[in-house]
Structure 1
Amino acid sequence: MKAVPPSSAALLRKEFRSPYFFTITALILFMTILYNEDYRASLRSSWTTKNKGEKLPFAVGEADNSCDLFSGRWVWDDHRPFYKEAECPYLYTPLCDKFGRPDTAYQHWRWQPKACSLPSINVSLLLETLRGKRMMYVGDSLNMGQYYSMVCLVQQFIPSSAKSLYNIFNGSLRIFEAKDYNATIEFYWAPFLLESNGDNPVVHHIEKSDRIVRKDAINTHGDHWKGADIMVFSTYYWWMTGLKIKILQGTFYDQKIEIEEVAVEEAYRMSMKNLVWWINENMDPNKTRVFFTTLSPVHENATQWGGDAKGNCYNETVRIDDEKGSYSGLDNDKSVMKVIGEEFAKLRNPITFLNITQLSSYRKDAHVSIYKRKWSPLTPEEIADPATYADCNHWCLPGLPDTWNELLFAKLLYP
């Protein structure tokens, strides 16, 4: 799909309308780095750097810089969830409740940082902040889950006549419009950020060995991100193809296709280099904010929390209790994902790092499991085989992604 030349935000709105070994190893390595305090401290200092006394865009207050919002524990909260699945008409694929999940305890947990409190989302304040603005999530289905969480959070406070959600570019861009605020909350499907053969938002089921990423082709999608005021990027899960991934040297339209297989770490570094370049070229630090959400963990191996060797997230209804903050669910190794810190350190403009990985790793209870639709609802035979068909990657809504948006809200308005 060729990019459409951008003009203004208004025009964009109109025109858009095993590898198992490597997967587990990569997750092991990535989480270890995120849990290393020296590394996390360097990310906090380099990714949110601003001049003393300089206020970041959209900020209405200052946070306690000594408090790490991403280190804490889960506590029960009778006031949750913020919304009900059945009362959010915009969910692209209803999950969990609709497909018969019998328990709801996973909806009631609130994240409590160790040294401070995480402010709950004030929807009125958020909508006023977004007045006349575009907020855009970019990534894969996990980032899409966070997007729909935000839509469900805000839509309940907007009259039916003053809101809508529509798709353009065959669904590559999804736009929730709060008409009275002249504001949009958008999601753009780009699982690798770069152009790939997985860019069709509807028909994108591609075997890991067949995934192809076009080298340095960020503008294919990036041209459609221009004009956004708040960007929330995330990419990782689609890169887990094995030890190597296919990189296209030319374009998908060339008569002779030239493909090279490179190490996933090298390819991922290419993607981060392109993202850094795009942010430096296109985002004004005086007017815009950029966020990067880290890996959303999986819970496919119950032995990581002392469960059965054949088990996974299916039928898990309690959290992993880890008061010391030492659990990663994985072994203690180095990670290919160190490239994030290395490449983002080259940014000229500030970016806010949302480390959702560790706090999410405790939530083996919050996945959609068998309570979902794949391309169609699971068959009785598939439901009877959760070891094979349970989805331990995606999350129920309402649920964990609501907390990710609470962290986003806090970092947006109280950086």
Structure 2
Amino acid sequence: MVGIWDVKHMFESSIIIFLVIGALATTAIYYVNNSDDQQDMMMSTPVMTHNSYNNNVYDSLDGCDLFSGKWVHDKESYPLYKEVECPYIPGEFSCGKYGRTDFIYQQWRWQPHARFVLSSLSSRYLKQLGTTSSHLSYLSSRFNAKEVLERLRGKRVIFIGDSVNRNQWLSMVCMLQSVIPHGLKKMQKVANVLSLFTFKAFEYNVSIDFYWAPLLVESNADHPSNHKRNYRVINIQSIEKHAKNWVNADILVFNSYLWWMTPTIKIMYGSFADSKKHIMVSNHDGYQMVLEKWSDWLATHINHRRTQSYFMSMTATHRRGVDWGKQGNENCLNETHPIIKEYFWESMSDLKMMRILESSLDKLKARGVNVNLVNITQLTQYRKDAHPSIHRLFYSTLKAKQLSNPNGYADCTHWCLPGVPDTWNELLLAYILQRRK
């Protein structure tokens, strides 16, 4: 009987083991296939590219991804300032002044999906800004302009790029200027430097500057106000004309995207006067060539022990309403609420440009130069409601035919102030101040 029981027991045990192994194998196959499916989905969904970035992008904040999240309505915390209280907002971004009467677009807080795994240092930093690890409330009215100015005391911050970077620069000025007494601050164009503008906070010896260089190197779009061009010409060998004005900065904040949205770029070699030596390239090839030139300059001319460098990623341009279910040629005009569909991606955003930038920053990292990518692309995708559209100053009189078609002249590229650029600056400051702890 004992022998029969042992055989029976062994047989039953074998069946159980077989079933367990089978279940484990099935589970493993499921997860492998599911992982493959998820990877395929990520490869086919442009917005997920932020998950493919190397870890160096988030090193300064302990690996936390601040850029995946959602917009939460928060009228108690936002806006961070009032339009009428910031005298530096130009007509292009003064949406309330030029007729916009709905202001809910100012009342949204960006809430990352992730929660901080705080080191003791970042915990102290966040506490100084009045935040906790369970709620990323540093993106709120707890923003402390005096604290930021004190931490930046004696420093020069310079935004370098196009009109969207100018949009962000003016946002930063508005966020900080309200706590500076009258007479201890000044906005001015720098004499003898065509493209340089500066805001001075004398009490703190802080300079917040903007330098117009939409293509980073010398181009036919270098005039800060007279730059409307239907074609692009750049001098690939000439970055020093602009860059000599950046070398003494403590914080560099670059962007360059919108001016590359033409099919081809004319690349000059030598002086602009020598029009014989040139080639025509695609916009993507031109972008890569310029980023290589910019990278070489940054690696050889900047003391990276002193200077922090950042690159703002591309922002959405909500020109095609069909992307979110509108009809015909409709766009951002009359939009009053964000898109709530997670990972929405509008068709005008060029993913290949993002990958070229990402690759360039990875190569710089390999050379020992860390330029943090501030990835604001996804969070801007949702904000079709936050553009000036027709509520802005136009510097030439609109004709009757234009007035009959508001969608045709609505600005869906730039952003109202207060508004979305304030969040970009909160994210940027999270990096800057973490490194200046």
- Structure 1 length-normalised TM: 0.83
By how many angstroms is 1:362 displaced? 0.1
Other-structure match for 2:294 = 275
Given that 1:111 and 1:118 are in contact with CA atoms closer than 8 Å, whether structure 2 keeps it comes out as no
* 1:60-110 superposed Cα distances (whole Å, 9 cap, x missing partner): xxx453x31001110111221111222111223352111101211100000
* 1:287-336 superposed Cα distances (whole Å, 9 cap, x missing partner): 111010000110001110011122100001111002xx321123999624
Do residues 76 (structure 1) and 95 (structure 2) align?
no
Runs (5+) with no aligned partner, structure 2: 1-42, 116-135
Do residues 365 (structure 1) and 378 (structure 2) align?
no
* 1:351-405 superposed Cα distances (whole Å, 9 cap, x missing partner): 1111101000000000010011232465665344122111110110110000000
* 1:339-360 superposed Cα distances (whole Å, 9 cap, x missing partner): 1122211212211111101000
- Structure 2 length-normalised TM: 0.79
By how many angstroms is 1:115 displaced? 2.0
Other-structure match for 2:90 = 92
Matches within 5 A, 1:10-89: 33=46, 35-36=48-49, 38-40=51-53, 42=54, 45-47=55-57, 63-65=61-63, 67-78=64-75, 79-89=77-87
Other-structure match for 2:359 = 342
Structure 1 pair 405/31, CA: closer, same or farther in 2 (3 Å)? Answer: farther
Alignment partners' CA distance in 1, 2:248 and 2:374: 22
Other-structure match for 1:103 = 102
Q: Given the alignment, which residue of 157, 168, 172 partners 1:135?
A: 157
Report the RMSD for the aligned CA atoms in angstroms: 2.2
By how many angstroms is 1:36 displaced? 2.7
What SS does structure 2 have at the residue aligned with 1:80? coil
Other-structure match for 1:393 = 413
Do residues 223 (structure 1) and 244 (structure 2) align?
yes
Q: Given the alignment, which residue of 278, 285, 288 partners 1:266?
A: 285
Which one is further off, 371-380 or 400-409? Answer: 371-380
More helix by share: 2
Alignment partners' CA distance in 1, 2:271 and 2:352: 31
One-letter code of the match for 2:241?
T
Alignment partners' CA distance in 1, 2:172 and 2:261: 27
Other-structure match for 2:324 = 305
- Ranges of 4+ aligned residues in structure 1 off by more than 4 Å: 30-34, 331-334, 377-381
Do residues 184 (structure 1) and 194 (structure 2) align?
no
Given that 1:139 and 1:188 are in contact with CA atoms closer than 8 Å, whether structure 2 keeps it comes out as yes
Alignment partners' CA distance in 2, 1:292 and 1:332: 17
Given that 1:269 and 1:339 are in contact with CA atoms closer than 8 Å, whether structure 2 keeps it comes out as yes
Other-structure match for 2:183 = 161
What SS does structure 1 have at the residue aligned with 2:412? strand
What SS does structure 2 have at the residue aligned with 1:320? coil
One-letter code of the match for 2:201?
A
Structure 1 pair 269/407, CA: closer, same or farther in 2 (3 Å)? Answer: same
Do residues 211 (structure 1) and 208 (structure 2) align?
no
By how many angstroms is 1:151 displaced? 0.4
Alignment partners' CA distance in 2, 1:391 and 1:115: 33
Q: Given the alignment, which residue of 316, 340, 345 partners 1:328?
A: 345
One-letter code of the match for 1:206?
R
Alignment partners' CA distance in 1, 2:180 and 2:328: 47
Do residues 126 (structure 1) and 170 (structure 2) align?
no
Structure 1 pair 48/274, CA: closer, same or farther in 2 (3 Å)? Answer: farther
Alignment partners' CA distance in 2, 1:131 and 1:252: 40
What SS does structure 1 have at the residue aligned with 2:160? strand
Q: Given the alignment, which residue of 308, 311, 320 partners 1:289?
A: 308
Which one is further off, 169-178 or 143-152? Answer: 169-178
By how many angstroms is 1:122 displaced? 2.2
Alignment partners' CA distance in 1, 2:336 and 2:369: 42
Other-structure match for 1:22 = none
Other-structure match for 2:217 = 194
Given that 1:118 and 1:406 are in contact with CA atoms closer than 8 Å, whether structure 2 keeps it comes out as no
One-letter code of the match for 2:265?
I
* 1:183-216 superposed Cα distances (whole Å, 9 cap, x missing partner): 1000000000010010000111112xx3211113
Alignment partners' CA distance in 1, 2:370 and 2:189: 31
Alignment partners' CA distance in 1, 2:257 and 2:419: 21
Given that 1:31 and 1:335 are in contact with CA atoms closer than 8 Å, whether structure 2 keeps it comes out as no
Other-structure match for 1:12 = none
Alignment partners' CA distance in 1, 2:256 and 2:98: 28
Other-structure match for 2:333 = 314
Q: Which has the larger radius of gyration?
A: 2
Alignment partners' CA distance in 2, 1:346 and 1:104: 43
Other-structure match for 1:238 = 259
Alignment partners' CA distance in 1, 2:382 and 2:48: 13
Given that 2:316 and 2:377 are in contact with CA atoms closer than 8 Å, whether structure 1 keeps it comes out as yes
